[in-house]
Amino acid sequence: METWVNQSDTDGFFLLGIFSHSTADLVLFSVVMVVFTVALCGNVLLIFLIYVDPHLHTPMYFFLSQLSLMDLMLVCTNVPKMAANFLSGRKSISFVGCGIQIGLFVCLVGSEGLLLGLMAYDRYVAISHPLHYPILMNQRVCLQITGSSWAFGIIDGLIQMVVVMNFPYCGLRKVNHFFCEMLSLLKLACVDTSLFEKVIFACCVFMLLFPFSIIVASYARILGTVLQMHSAQAWKKALATCSSHLTAVTLFYGAAMFIYLRPRRYRAPSHDKVASIFYTVLTPMLNPLIYSLRNREVMGALRKGLDRCRIGSQH
C-alpha cells in the first residue's frame, strides 16, 4: 500500500473522455444523459415495486431486485464523473478516485455476470421442477445465490484495485477512456505489466465463461423439458419466462466478451469506449424495460401503484 500512499499525494489522472465539443458529440452526450436518467429511474422504480408488492416477493423477483441494484450502482460509478468532466471542461480524476472507480466497476460487473448465470438455474428449476420449486429455491438458497454473487464481485474488485493501483505510473497520465478502465490505465504504468495482463485475461475468461456455462447447461435442460411438453400454452409460458432473461444475458455477455476476450492486436480504444457505453449505460437502462414491459406481474404492480396515487390525489 506504500505505492498507493506515495502516488495519492501527487496529481491523479486525466480522462480523455469519449466526447468532444462538436455539435454531433453534444447530441450524443445528451442522448447518453437521457439514457442514464431512464436507467436511474427505471431501476429505482423496479426495486420499489418489488419491495412494496407482495405478489412480487418470489425468488425470481428477489434476484431481479438485486440485478437492478447492481445496474443502479454501475451507472452511478462512471457516468456522473464523465458528465461533470465534460460539462466543466476539467478532465482530471484523483488517484484514490480512480482506484475506487476500478474497484466498483470490476466488483459490479463480476457480481452481475455471476448473478445472471445463477438466475438461469432459477429458471431451470421453475420450468423443469415446478412442484419442488418452493423447496429447491427457498429463502436460504436465494440468499446464498445473491450473497455468493456479491462476495465474488467484491473480492475480485478489491484484489484488482489494490494490484493495479500499486503499479508506479509516470508520464502525462492521460487515460484514453471516459473512466478509469483498468486495461487503459495499465498502458501508463512505468513497469512491465504483461504478466499481470495475462492473469487478468485468464480471470476474465473464467468470470465470463463460468457463469455462461451455467446459462448454457440450464437452458439445455430447459429446452429438453419444453420439447417434452404437449401443451401449446405450456410452451408459451416457458418461453415467456425465459425470454427476458435471455435478452438481458445476450446484451451483457455480448458487450463484455467483445471488450475482454478479443486478442490484443484487434483492440482499439474507440471500439472499447463505445462498447463500455453500451454495457455501463445502455444495458442498465434496458434491463428494467425488458423485465417490466414483457412481464404481466410487474406491469400489474405498476398499474396498482399508479391507481393508488390517482386515488390519493383525488382525496
Between 60 and 11, residue with greater pLDDT? 60
Q: pLDDT (tens digit, 9 = 90+) per residue, 248-276? A: 888 888 877 777 777 767 677 777 787 78
Least confident of 71-75, 224-228, 261-265, 302-306: 261-265
pLDDT at 10: 55
- Percent above pLDDT 90 for the chain: 33
pLDDT at residue 209 tops 60: yes
Confidence of residue 157 (pLDDT cuts 50, 70, 90): very high
Q: What is the biggest distance separating any 2 CA atoms in the chain, rounded to whole angstroms?
A: 69
Architecture of domain 12-306: Up-down Bundle (1.20)
pLDDT at 9: 46
The most confident of 1-15, 28-42, 205-219, 224-238, by mean pLDDT: 28-42
Q: At what angle do helices 59-88 and 23-52 cross, to 10 degrees?
A: 150
Report how far residue 24's alpha carbon sits from residue 29's, in angstroms, rounded to the nearest whole number. 9
pLDDT at 150: 96
The most confident of 69-73, 185-189, 293-297, by mean pLDDT: 69-73
Complete DSSP assignment for 277-303: HIIIIIHHHHHHHHHHHT-HHHHHHHH
Average pLDDT over the chain, rounded to an integer: 85
Report how far residue 29's alpha carbon sits from residue 83's, in angstroms, rounded to the nearest whole number. 8
| DSSP H or E stretch at residue 71 | helix 59-88
Confidence of residue 37 (pLDDT cuts 50, 70, 90): very high
Confidence of residue 298 (pLDDT cuts 50, 70, 90): confident
Identity of residue 15: L
